[in-house]
Amino acid sequence: MTVIAPPAARVQQPTTRSGGRGGSIMWMALPALLVFGAFGVIPLIGVLALSFTTWDGIGTIQPSGLASWGAALGDPALPHALLVTFEIMALSWLVQTPLSILIGVFIAARTRYRSVLAVLYFIPLLLSSTAISITYKALLDPNFGIGTGLGLDILNQDWLGEPRLAMGVLVFVVSWQFIPFHSLIYQGAVRQIPSSLYEASQIDGAGRLRQFFSITLPQLKYTIITSSTLMVVGSLTFFDLIYVLTAGGPGDATRALALEMYQTGFMANLMGPASVIAVILVLVGLLLAQLLRRLSGRGDESQLEGM
Partner 1 sequence: MATVDPHAPRRITPAGRVSRLNWLGGAFGWLWLLVVMVPIYWIVITSFKTQSSYFVTNTFAPPSDPTFDNYKLVIENDFVRYFLNSVVVSVGAVVPAVVISFMAAYAIVRRAGNRWLRFVNTLFLMGLAIPLQAVIIPVYLIIIRLRMYDTLLAIILPSMAFAIPLSVLVLSNFIRDVPRELFESMRMDGATEWGTLWRLAFPLTRPALVTVTIYNALGIWNGFLLPLVLTQSPEQRTMPLALWTFQGQFGINVPAIAASVTLTTIPIVLLYAIGRRQLLSGLTAGFGK
Nearer to partner 1, 253 or 274 (CB): 274
Instruction: Please tell me whether residue 93 binds partner 1 under the rule CB under 8 A.
Output: no
For 53, list phi and psi in degrees, rounded to 5: -130, 175
Among 194, 217, 266, 300, binds partner 1 (CB under 8 A): 266
Instruction: Please tell me whether residue 75 binds partner 1 under the rule CB under 8 A.
Output: no
Among 146, 165, 167, 197, binds partner 1 (CB under 8 A): 146
Those residues whose C-beta lies under 8 Å from the C-beta of residue 237, and which sit 6 or more positions away, are 3, 258, 281
Residue 182: CB minimum distance to partner 1, A:
10
Instruction: Please tell me whether residue 203 binds partner 1 under the rule CB under 8 A.
Output: yes
Write out the binding residues for partner 1, residues 213-242 only, by CB under 8 A: 226, 233, 236-237, 239-240
Bridge partners for 54 per DSSP: 62
Cα distances (angstroms) measured from residue 75 to each of 78, 82, 233, 265:
6, 12, 24, 14
Instruction: Please tell me whether residue 1 binds partner 1 under the rule CB under 8 A.
Output: yes
Nearer to partner 1, 97 or 226 (CB): 226
Instruction: Please tell me whether residue 307 binds partner 1 under the rule CB under 8 A.
Output: no
Instruction: Please tell me whether residue 114 binds partner 1 under the rule CB under 8 A.
Output: yes
Instruction: Please tell me whether residue 197 binds partner 1 under the rule CB under 8 A.
Output: no
Binding segment for partner 1 (CB under 8 A), chosen from 33-41, 87-95, 157-165, 293-301, is 33-41
Among 98, 161, 188, 306, binds partner 1 (CB under 8 A): 188
CA distance 277 to 240: 17
Q: How many chain residues bind partner 1 (CB under 8 A)? A: 112
- On whether the CB atoms of residues 169 and 140 are closer than 8 A, the answer is yes
Write out the binding residues for partner 1, residues 53-72 only, by CB under 8 A: 57, 61
Instruction: Please tell me whether residue 154 binds partner 1 under the rule CB under 8 A.
Output: no
Instruction: Please tell me whether residue 207 binds partner 1 under the rule CB under 8 A.
Output: yes
Distance of CA 215 to the CA centre of its chain: 27
- On whether the CB atoms of residues 244 and 262 are closer than 8 A, the answer is no
CA distance 302 to 307: 10
The greatest distance separating any two alpha carbons of the chain, rounded to the nearest whole angstrom, comes to 78
Binding segment for partner 1 (CB under 8 A), chosen from 74-82, 88-96, 213-221, 271-279, is 271-279
Instruction: Please tell me whether residue 178 binds partner 1 under the rule CB under 8 A.
Output: no
Find the DSSP H helices in the chain: 30-36, 42-50, 67-74, 77-108, 112-121, 129-139, 146-150, 163-191, 195-203, 208-211, 217-219, 221-235, 240-245, 257-262, 271-297
